[in-house]
Chain A
Amino acid sequence: MTEYETKEYDVLVIGAGGAGLRAAIEASALGAKVGLVCKSLLGKAHTVMAEGGVAAALANVDQQDGWETHFKDTMNGGKLLNNWRMAQLHAQEAPERVKELERWGAVFDRTKDGKILQRAFGGHTWKRLCHVGDRTGLEMIRTLQDKGVHQGFDVHMECCVTKLFKDGDKISGAFGYFREDGRYILFKAKAVVLATGGVGKSFPVTSNSWEYSGDGQGLAYDAGADLIDMEFVQFHPTGMVWPPGVRGILVTEGVRGEGGILRNSLGERFMYKYLPESTRDGYAANDEEAVTWVNAAIAGTKTEARRPPELSTRDNVARAIYTEVKEGRGSPHGGVFLDISYQDPERVKKKLPSMYHQFKDLADVDITAGPMEVGPTMHYTMGGVRVDADTQMSRVPGLFAAGECSGGMHGANRLGGNSLSDLVVFGRRAGMGAAEYIKGISSAPTISEADIKDAIEEMEAPFKRADGKNPYDIMKELHKTMSTYVGIFREEKDMETGIAKLQEIKEMIKHAGAKGTKAYNPGWHMCRDLHNMMICSEAIAKSALSRKESRGAHSRLDYPDLNETEWGTVNTAISKDGDKMKLEHTPKPQMPEELAKLFVKKKEAASV
């Protein structure tokens, strides 16, 4: 039999972005023997690309803020489909997690009186995003990385996990390979924390990196966990659209937070007309009010003016841009204009340094002198592994998930800035949950030889397919299918066509072939990545087809309205049933009375 090395841990954490690092730090601090694996080098995970900030109701800038408002904003942003308990824990604990990052060495931008500065973002009532210019994610991951290396856990870099093992119904370990030379590794573990991020690589235009192949979701699905809310895919409204080589690269919402204005080719500031009736009161009625708000934000002074319409939620802004382009009012390269050049150039360079360089270096555009061209780019998956809110454990005992690969926290649409806070709040909770869980596991985990053999054979198979298909060609087919049939706007017939095409692609994946050796062979790695990309793509398409309404990021042309009575009470859940993918609609957790009141009051006030 092919050789493999073996490592034994109490807790194995898969993924070393914000959530994985925070989980590993916590579990390790609580005494567990922890191993951390990451597909890339340490410190390169997707968290590094987060720009605008981390949301926490510190109330350093707007004193009226508090966890209840953050909770309400999060639930409203998610169209009330969120797991209320996760949203509550998140809003309550985010401030302490941000302060903890500061104590661990993060250096946030400051207010004039020496506190952590906070900026405005879409859907947040108050200025809430703690930030470091437009490189907040880098600051967070470096802080956690430098804290982590002194914590005493093992880090396995450029290691990819392909299988989870169970002993009875409980998690007992995982199997993977090292990218460097393709050698195999068996992890015996009492608990596994998934923190692998999202699914962006199933789409052609995305702000996500190659790592985002839905590994955690795929591993969990194969191990018997269920995936919820997979139909909710966030298209970030502002990605670069030109030149083609950079299409999809993120343009931070911080541009709009700092006062960036969206216009169409006619010069119209179109966002006014796309504000939903229910939230219109929270936004400026005209340019004069909007500019008063921006000037006050820059000066750090108070104002009665309401925030600009560009700070609507992401789902709404993305649909608005898509519609403007589709109706012929787009920019030359199929986007719209985002303009911050009316502000002092030195301030723009200071507050948005990465954006300044990104456009200057990659698109020959000086954002201090003229507008950017932007359009929607696939950015985030709200759905993921269903977990218990307090412990982050899935329905598989010993299997935990945190961050983007878990589901529930963000409901039908995530607010900007709520992801970085999600990582540290629930990364920590997953670490705690796993450390607590292993106390109840007395015997060493066992893994059957047959399971290991299957895992090895699966990895060896692509080399044995003499005339195997190029895995990158299959990836391109998958891209085409997802963007054509399961994009921003969806329709029954399209999605049915898409699902049929996915079945064809699933067959192709069985014939994906690798050549050469196992040494750092991206083609071989892609053959396996396609497995998880396919599970997630199919889950997204089937969930989207099943939800016959429009809610948050899920927009149906054939069901354009929100249908609260029929669809407001259920989550879509995907699980594995033999060789089939099973879809159910399961009841949404009910908010307790004292929290539900927060929402009722608002409705009454609005109807007066």
Chain B
Amino acid sequence: MSEGTNTHRQATLKVYRGDKGKGDYQTYKVPVEAGMVVLDAIHYIQQNYDPELAVRWNCKAAKCGSCSAEVNGMPSLMCKSRMDQFRDDEDIMVQPLKTFPIIKDLVTDVSWNYEVNKKITPFSPAADADWTVYQEDIERVQEFRKCIECFLCQNVCHVLRDHDRKDNFMGPRFLVRTAGLEMHPLDEANRLKFLKDEGHIGYCNITKCCTEVCPEDIHITDNAIIPLKERVVDEFYDPLGKFIKGVLSGGKK
């Protein structure tokens, strides 16, 4: 492989600059090197043109979920968005997540998510649980626990994005969290009433947009939301089925 290809390609970025009140797109030219990601380009702008450019990031390795933005309209982690996916003559539009209020430039106020999280009944094992747990019984829960809280799923969920029902709907991230607790083999709490009456799981009409943008490839809709919906239906809308299941399971969750 040839090192230091000095025929630096220039990329053109159009980055949203502004705050709650107003803003527009500013154009920057950035030299591109091999393996560069959009977050590198943003850092280049910050370090060389404009130290005021606000961006949230931490690990730059797709592990912390801080640098979520919309790149050419696609909600993604900037640290995972390779620059070589764009054509040379293509402008790269970088804008903040639409679903959350803008603080400044690419940084949005995601504090609502932390408030939702507080409402979920935490892990509640029995006091005398013996903690022998087999791998096959936790595979699904481990899938949900891969979530890095990038909130991209919350950003694309149309209940939140288009209808702005943050007052009433917990969103895919917290359905995943709840699923991880409900399906934990040693958890004894019941969150179904909460899911129905406060989380309003019924608002989700399984369009799977959340699953599509998940950088951790969690099957949010199929593996978390649909099974929870089924449990809620069984609990509240199918008294006969609930009775039969209750008899078969000996009253266990």
A residues apposed to B, CB below 8 Å:
40-46, 48-49, 99, 102-105, 107, 109-110, 112-115, 132-133, 135, 137-139, 142, 146-147, 149-150, 157, 180-181, 209-211, 242-246, 249-250, 332-333, 354, 357-358, 361-363, 470-473, 476, 514-516, 519-524, 526
Cβ contact within 8 Å between B118 and A363: no
Cβ contact within 8 Å between A135 and B35: no
Cβ contact within 8 Å between B37 and A245: yes
In-complex Cβ contact of A139 among B40, B57, B145, B149 (8 A): B145
Cβ contact within 8 Å between B35 and A245: yes
Shortest distance between the CB of B25 and any CB in chain A (Å): 18
Cβ contact within 8 Å between A363 and B35: yes
**Chain B contact surface mostly:** loop
Give the CA-CA distance A245 to B44 in the complex, in Å. Answer: 11
Given contacts A209-B59, A244-B33, A245-B33, contact A147 B122 (CB under 8 A): yes
Interface residues of B in 118-160 (CB under 8 A from A): 118, 122-123, 125, 131-135, 138, 141-142, 145-149
B residues apposed to A, CB below 8 Å:
1, 3, 19, 33-37, 40, 46-48, 51-66, 80, 82, 103-105, 107, 109-111, 114, 117-118, 122-123, 125, 131-135, 138, 141-142, 145-149, 181, 184
Cβ contact within 8 Å between B110 and A103: no
**Chain A contact surface mostly:** loop
23 contacts between A and B (CB under 8 A): A40-B58, A48-B63, A48-B148, A110-B138, A115-B132, A146-B117, A146-B123, A149-B114, A150-B122, A180-B109, A209-B57, A244-B34, A250-B61, A333-B1, A357-B62, A361-B82, A362-B82, A470-B47, A519-B103, A521-B51, A521-B54, A522-B46, A522-B55
Shortest distance between the CB of A233 and any CB in chain B (Å): 20
Cβ contact within 8 Å between B52 and A515: yes
Shortest distance between the CB of A510 and any CB in chain B (Å): 17
Cβ contact within 8 Å between B58 and A132: no
Cβ contact within 8 Å between B54 and A520: yes
Given contacts A147-B122, A472-B51, contact A249 B58 (CB under 8 A): no
Residues of B within 8 A of A44 (CB): 58-59, 64-66, 149
Give the CA-CA distance A482 to B150 in the complex, in Å. Answer: 33
Given contacts A41-B56, A132-B142, A524-B51, 19 further A-B contacts (CB under 8 A): A40-B56, A41-B110, A42-B114, A44-B65, A105-B181, A107-B142, A109-B135, A133-B142, A138-B63, A147-B122, A245-B37, A354-B62, A357-B62, A472-B51, A476-B47, A519-B19, A522-B52, A523-B52, A526-B51
Residues of A within 8 A of B148 (CB): 48, 138
Shortest distance between the CB of B32 and any CB in chain A (Å): 9
Cβ contact within 8 Å between A520 and B103: yes
Cβ contact within 8 Å between B35 and A113: no
Cβ contact within 8 Å between B1 and A332: yes
